[in-house]
Structure 1
Amino acid sequence: MLVFEYKAYGKSNQFNAVEEAIRTVQFIRNKAIRLWMDGGAKSCYDLNKYCAVLAKEFSFASQLNSMARQAAAERAWASIQRFYDNCKGKIAGKKGFPQFQKDNRSVEYKTSGWALSDDRKSITFTDRKGIGKLKLKGTRDLNFYQLCQIKRVRLVKRADGYYVQFCISVDRTEILPATGNTIGLDVGLASFYTDSNGLEVENPKFYRAGEIKMKRAQRLVSRKVKGSNNRIKSRIELGRIHLKISRQRKDHAVKLARCVVQSNDLIAYEDLRVRNMVKNHCLAKSISDAGWYQFRVWLETFGRIFGRITVAVNPAYTSQECSSCGVIVKKSLSTRTHSCQCGCELGRDHNAALNILTKAIGTAGHVGTSILDIGIAQGDSSSTVTGANL
């Protein structure tokens, strides 16, 4: 599945209609959650039927496309199903009980309620919300895909405007020649990661860099009167700063992950539980700013696309164990150099990266000169956990 995003351009009354559609989606989703809480829905099918009842009862709900109403109900059922799965799986802590939505920012259409122009540079929404024709501006060309391949169309509100997303059903695979290289990655805060070759990639720290502007914008929001137009403008400006930081972090993760995957046949990394790590209030901001999990997600995504092996390794003792002789050398977080009695002296992160690669190779077996010999060149199972037999 590919997701193409385009900036939408239109008149103010059109964007007011988009806002109304988004509020309607939020209303339907919350009504569906309430129906489930009252015991009136046992499946997603029950919620879909309830959409027709809401359309008859409320005129503003009937103005929204029927498939868009069903998509809103499916969002509600997704949160309910996730809660059920967490309960059955006995997930520790909170199970994620479905909550009422307060600030919805998107509306999703399926295969009806919209029509693309012949040149694919504009889209017209045909339901009775009155959105009409919106111009599209983006770098991706939709002419390469058939209309039947577009399964979902989303209208998304962000701090800097409105966007249209197209969910295209297509399998993206690219076969690259084998490089014969393997690499282990140890992520950190001093440097974004240190690989098994000793290379350190600088941590960009986008949040820290934009923190001064962010604090100033937050003060301006606090000074304005609640409900005033000036407060709304200040909130939009604060949202733009946060949006820029998130885009910078994503761009960094995508480009770095793509470079790593294309340059190596096997990529090993730590199977970190970032959700648990951010409970340390002293390091939570720095860990969140680094974006380790987002980097891992893109490593696995590009691993499937380019047919590379990505292995998640248990991080236990990777920093303490000597990469040369295997002896455990205890060290605190402040100790940045690994020094062993066998004479091995390396940087702490470099030593950890070597251990991660060693564990991954022990899990995946011998990596030859061709990934095709391993039988997963198409990326059917590009991410594995420690102990799996490849």
Structure 2
Amino acid sequence: MLVFEFKAYGRPSQFAAIDEGIRVVQFIRNKCIRLWMEHPKTGKYDLSKYSAVLAKGFSFAEKLNAMSRQASADRAWAAISRFYDNCKKKVPGKKGYPQFQKSNRSIEYKTQSWKIADSRKSITFTDKLGIGKLKLKGTRDLNVYPKEDIKRVRLIKRADGYYVQFCIKADRRENIEPTHRTIGLDVGIESFYTDSQGSQADNPRFYRVGEAKLKQLQRKISRKVKGSKNRAKARALLGKAHLKISRQRKDHAIKLARCVITSNDVVVYEDLRVRNLVRNHCLAKSINDAGWYQFRVWLEYFARVFGRVTIAVNPAYTSQQCSSCGTIVKKSLSTRTHVCQCGCKLDRDHNAAMNILNSGLGTTGHVETSVFNAGNASGELTSILAGESLSG
């Protein structure tokens, strides 16, 4: 699946209709969660049928088309099935028991109640919500894909406005020449990553850079009266500031991951448990600011697109072991240089990256590796090993 996003332009009454639809989606999802809590044997199809029952019982729920109501029920079932899967896999810690949603921000349409213009410059929603025609503005070209390939349309509310997402059934693949290079990556805080060649990528620290402005905007919110329009305006400004940081981090991860994948045939990295790492309150902010998980997701995605190989290895002792002789040299986090009795002296992260590469190449063919075929590449942003080792 490819996901293209466009900014939506319309009248305030249209945006109010979108907000009403978002509340209906949240209502149906929460009702389905409540039904499952009261009747644990409820299945996916029972929730889908229940969405039709809710439409008959509540007039505002009937305004949303049938497929969108079913999509809302599917969201509830996704939370339930994820909880069941975590219990079966015996995931350590909390299993993700389904919770009632308080701030839904999107509506999903399937193949009904929307019609896109032939020019692909506008889209019209025809359900009873009364959204009507919205103008679209973006950099993607939808004319390349026929209308029947558009399988989902989402309306999303963000801090800076409303967006329309198109989920298109298409295979994305790009053929590039092999580089005959392999590389190991050690992610860190001082530098975003250090590779096995000794090269480093700077850590931009987007949150740290914008933290002063965020604190200033937060203080402005605290001074406003709760429920007032001025407080709502101050909250909108804070939301836009957070959204900017989020987009900066995503853009950085995409560009860096694409560069790494196109420059190497095999990429080896640590199979980190980010959920456990952020328990260290001294480093939690810096780890979250770095965005290691997002970088890994895009690495695996571009590996599928370009037909490269990615391997996730166990991070145990990669920083302590000597890459030259294999001896364990204990080091604290403040020790940035690896010095071994065999005479090996390297930067701590460079030594770890070499260990990661050696571990990945030594276990290829014996453990699960992320091997991708360019002929089957797609645009789904999924992590091959994420369910086993990382928190989404």
> What TM-score comes out, normalization by structure 1 length?
0.94
Give distance in 2, aligned partners of 1:106 and 1:99: 17
Distance 1:262 1:62, change over 3 A: same
- 1:305 paired residue number: 305
Q: Are the counterparts in 1 of residues 303 and 372 from structure 2 also a CA contact under 8 Å?
A: no
Distance 1:57 1:375, change over 3 A: closer
Partner letter of residue 245 of structure 2?
I
- 1:293 paired residue number: 293
- 1:11 paired residue number: 11
Q: Are the counterparts in 2 of residues 303 and 382 from structure 1 also a CA contact under 8 Å?
A: no
The alpha carbon displacement at 1:91 in A equals 1.6
Alignment of 1:113-132 (within 5 A): 113-132=113-132
Q: Are the counterparts in 2 of residues 310 and 382 from structure 1 also a CA contact under 8 Å?
A: no
Q: Are the counterparts in 2 of residues 310 and 384 from structure 1 also a CA contact under 8 Å?
A: no
Alignment of 1:187-206 (within 5 A): 187-206=187-206
The alpha carbon displacement at 1:40 in A equals 7.4
Give distance in 2, aligned partners of 1:382 and 1:97: 22
Aligned pair count reads: 377
Q: Are the counterparts in 1 of residues 35 and 42 from structure 2 also a CA contact under 8 Å?
A: no
The alpha carbon displacement at 1:313 in A equals 1.0
Give distance in 1, aligned partners of 2:47 and 2:295: 36
Deviations 1:5-64 (A, max 9, x none): 000000000000000000010111111111111117621111111111111111111111
Mean Cα displacement is larger for which, 127-136 or 318-327?
318-327
Alignment of 1:159-170 (within 5 A): 159-170=159-170
Q: Runs of 5+ in structure 2 lacking a partner?
A: 366-370, 387-392
The alpha carbon displacement at 1:378 in A equals 4.2
- 1:103 paired residue number: 103
Give distance in 2, aligned partners of 1:379 and 1:66: 33
- 2:22 paired residue number: 22
SS at match of 2:353: helix
Percent same amino acid among aligned pairs?
70
Deviations 1:313-353 (A, max 9, x none): 11111111111111111111111011111111110000110
Distance 1:269 1:75, change over 3 A: same
The alpha carbon displacement at 1:364 in A equals 2.1
Give distance in 1, aligned partners of 2:58 and 2:18: 18
Q: Are the counterparts in 1 of residues 297 and 383 from structure 2 also a CA contact under 8 Å?
A: no
Q: Are the counterparts in 1 of residues 122 and 134 from structure 2 also a CA contact under 8 Å?
A: yes
Mean Cα displacement is larger for which, 202-211 or 315-324?
315-324
Deviations 1:131-169 (A, max 9, x none): 000000000011111111111100000000000000111
Q: Are the counterparts in 2 of residues 310 and 383 from structure 1 also a CA contact under 8 Å?
A: no
Give distance in 1, aligned partners of 2:328 and 2:111: 59
Distance 1:384 1:96, change over 3 A: closer
Distance 1:226 1:164, change over 3 A: same
- 1:138 paired residue number: 138
Is residue 251 of structure 1 aligned with residue 251 of structure 2?
yes
Q: Are the counterparts in 1 of residues 274 and 293 from structure 2 also a CA contact under 8 Å?
A: yes
SS at match of 1:210: helix
Distance 1:24 1:195, change over 3 A: same
> What TM-score comes out, normalization by structure 2 length?
0.93
Q: Are the counterparts in 1 of residues 187 and 194 from structure 2 also a CA contact under 8 Å?
A: yes
Runs ≥4 in structure 1, deviation > 6 angstroms? 379-382
- 1:182 paired residue number: 182
